[in-house]
Amino acid sequence: MAREPNTESQQALTTRIAQLEQQIETLHSALMCASDAQAAGERERQPRTDLNAGRAEPSSTEGVVASPEAIQIATKETEVRLRALLRGASDYAIIETDSDGRITFWNEGAEALIGWTEAEATGRNIEMMFTPEDREAGKPEQERCEAMANGRSDYERWHIRKDGTTFYAHERVIAPVDPERKRFLKVLRNRSKEREIEEARYASEEQMRLILNSAMDYAIFTLDRSGVVTTWNPGAERLLGYGEDEIVGRNGRIVFTPEDQATGESEKELVKALNQGRAEDERWHMRKDGSRFWGSGLMLPLQPDGIPGFLKIMRDETARHRADEMNRLLIGELNHRVKNTLGLVQAIAKETLRGRDPGRDIRDALDSRLAALSRSHDILARESWESASLTEVIRRAFAPFVRQGKVEDRLTIDGRDARLSPTAALSLGMAFHELATNAAKYGALSVPSGKVEVRWREEMDRPPDGTGLRLNWRERDGPPVSPPARKGFGSRLIERALAYEMNGTTRLDYAADGLRFELSIPKTALQGRANGP
C-alpha cells in the first residue's frame, strides 16, 4: 500500500519554502550583481596605461552608472539584508557552497539542526552531512548537476549530524543566478517527526489492510458518497463473487435484489448512515451468479478527516435466517397444537361435567381459567417462547373483565416494562386472571366507578439474586372488602403456587377500602428490560 503524505502540511511547507526561496534568490541575485558592479568599479578606478604615450592616465568615468561609493554602500546594504534574512530563518538550515561543494555560508538554523558551528563548517565539503551510502553513490554532486540543469533539485533523504545521529529532511538546492559564479544555495527542513508519523500511519494502514484481507468470513468494502465501490476485500469477493477489478468503480446497488433496487433501498441505507451515524441491514442480497443470500450488514460513514464515503461490513447469515424461519414455523405449529389441546381439555371437562349439575359457576370458572392460560400462550408464541412483556400480561388478563370502555379507563399501570421468563409469564397470567375475576365479582370492577392500580419498582436489595421487582395491586373506589370465610382456588394459587413457581414472596391484604396484593419478583424470573411505562 503506497504511503500518501499529509496534503495540507505538504502544501503549507511548499508555499513557505517557495516564499523564502523567492526572497533568497532575489537578494542572492542582487548581492551577486552588486558584487560584480563593485568589482567593475574597482577596475574602473585602476589607472590605464597609454601604450602610445608610455604614461599612465586616470581612466574615464564615462558609462559608470553609479559612483564607487554608492556601489559599495548598495552592496553592503544588500549583503546585510541577505545575511539577516538567511540567519533569521531558524526553522531552516540554509547553506551556500561553491561548485566543488565547499561550504561558504552556514546559518544558525543549520547549526541548530546539524550541530556544526559556522566556523567549523565553513570551508568543509558538504559531503560531511551525507550518509556514507549517499556519498558513495555521488548524491552531493548529483544534486548540483541537477540544479544546474533544471534551476533547482528537490529530494527527501537521511542526513548525518555532527554527533553521528541522523535526521530526515526535505532539501532543495537552488542553482546560481550567474553561471559564472557557481554558488549553490541549499535549504533543508527537518522532517524527522513527520516521517515518524507517516511511518506509523503507513504501518497502521498496512496492518489494517492485512486484517481486512484476512477477514474472509466478512465482506468489507468502502463506497464514495454516491454509492460507488472504492475498495473491496477478499471476503467480499468470496461472498459476492465479484473480483476487485470487476466491482471497483461500479455502484454498490448491484448487490441488492431487483426488488430492493426498484424501491431505492441502497440509497436509503446511505442516507440513514449519514444522518444517524450507522445503518443496520438484514435482507436478501444478490451474488454475481444471480444466487441470493441473507446478508446481515452494518454501514458506517467514514470519519471527516478521512476520505468521504462509507464503510460496509456484511456477513452471510443465510443458515441462521433459515433456522429462525424454521423455529418460527415450529413454534407456530406448537402454539396451534397447544391451543387445540386446551380446547380439547375444555371439551372433555364440559362432557365430564355434563349431567352432573356441578353448577354454572364451576363451568364458567373452568372455561375462564383455560382461556386465561391460552392468552398467556398467545403472548409467548408471538415472542418465540423466549420472554413476554409484563405490561402485556397484565393487560391481557384484565381485558375480558372490562365490558364497556377502554382498559385504560379502569386500569392504571405504572412501572418500567420488564421481560418475564416463559414460566413467570404463565404463572403471573393465571394470578392476574384470578385477581381480575375477584375484582369483577366482589371488588373494584363490580361497580362503574371502581379502578385498579398496578405499580412496580426495582428492588435493589435482594441478595443473592440481585435486582428484582416489587409489584403492588391495589383496588380503589369499590365496595367495602372483608376477608373471605374460606380460601378458594384463586387464593391458594396466588399465595402458594405463585410464590413457589417464581421463588418469590406474596401477600394478600383484604383492606376495607380495597384489596391489596404485593408480589416480590426475583431477578431469576426476569429476562432484561423493555421500553414501557
- pTM of this prediction? 0.40
- The predicted structure's pLDDT at residue 292: 93
Q: Average the pLDDT over each of 156-165, 188-197, 312-321, 337-346 and give the range with the smallest value.
A: 337-346
- The predicted structure's pLDDT at residue 72: 47
**CATH code at 321-529:** 3.30.565.10
- The predicted structure's pLDDT at residue 516: 92
* 3-state secondary structure (DSSP) of residue 410: helix
- The predicted structure's pLDDT at residue 260: 94
Q: Average the pLDDT over each of 222-231, 232-241, 278-287, 462-471 and give the range with the smallest value.
A: 462-471
| Residue (of 307, 308, 285) closest to 296 by Cα position | 285
Q: How confident is the model at residue 142 (pLDDT cuts 50, 70, 90)?
A: very high
Task: Count other Cβ atoms within 10 Å, centred on residue 153.
Answer: 20
358-404 pLDDT tens trace: 566 666 666 676 767 667 666 666 666 677 888 988 888 888 887 65
* 3-state secondary structure (DSSP) of residue 368: helix
For 228, which DSSP code?
B
Pairwise pLDDT comparison (356 vs 533), residue with the higher score:
356
Same fold for the pair 12-43+67-192 and 215-316: yes
- The predicted structure's pLDDT at residue 32: 52
Distances (CA, A) of 135 to 96, 127, 132: 18, 6, 5
Distances (CA, A) of 480 to 222, 340, 436, 444, 483: 71, 41, 17, 9, 10
CB 334 within 8 A of CB 244: no
pLDDT of residue 45 exceeding 60, the answer is: no
CB 413 within 8 A of CB 391: yes
pLDDT of residue 350 exceeding 70, the answer is: no
Q: Average the pLDDT over each of 179-188, 222-231, 343-352, 499-508 and give the range with the smallest value.
A: 343-352
Distances (CA, A) of 130 to 89, 101, 138, 152, 176: 22, 12, 10, 19, 22
Distances (CA, A) of 333 to 105, 315, 328: 94, 30, 8
159-194 pLDDT tens trace: 999 999 999 999 999 888 766 667 898 999 888 888
**Rg over CA atoms, the chain:** 46
- Beta-bridge mates of residue 451: 476
CA 468 to chain centre: 36
- The predicted structure's pLDDT at residue 206: 63
Q: What stretch of H or E contains 116?
A: none
- The predicted structure's pLDDT at residue 224: 92
In the chain, what percentage of residues exceed pLDDT 70?
A: 65
pLDDT of residue 261 exceeding 90, the answer is: yes
pLDDT of residue 78 exceeding 90, the answer is: no
513-523 pLDDT tens trace: 899 999 888 88
Pairwise pLDDT comparison (279 vs 73), residue with the higher score:
279
204-251 pLDDT tens trace: 666 666 666 666 678 889 999 899 999 898 889 989 999 989 999 999
**Out of 3.30.450.20, 3.40.50.1980, 1.20.200.10, 3.40.50.1000, which CATH number does the structure's domain 12-43+67-192 have?**
3.30.450.20
81-124 pLDDT tens trace: 555 556 555 678 999 999 899 999 899 889 999 999 999 999 99
Residues 6+ apart with CB under 8 A from 87: 107, 108
- Beta-bridge mates of residue 454: 413, 473
pLDDT of residue 147 exceeding 50, the answer is: yes
- The predicted structure's pLDDT at residue 97: 92
Pairwise pLDDT comparison (422 vs 341), residue with the higher score:
422
Whole-number mean pLDDT of the chain? 77
- The predicted structure's pLDDT at residue 347: 64
Helices of type H across 241-317: 244-247, 258-262, 265-276
pLDDT of residue 353 exceeding 70, the answer is: no
- The predicted structure's pLDDT at residue 194: 84
Q: Average the pLDDT over each of 51-60, 195-204, 444-453 and give the range with the smallest value.
A: 51-60
**CATH code at 215-316:** 3.30.450.20
The long-range contacts involving 271-274, CB below 8 angstroms and separated by at least 24 positions, are 272/299, 273/299, 273/300, 273/301, 273/310, 274/301, 274/310
Pairwise pLDDT comparison (74 vs 258), residue with the higher score:
258
**Three cell numbers at 177?**
543566478
**Span 495-523, average pLDDT:** 84
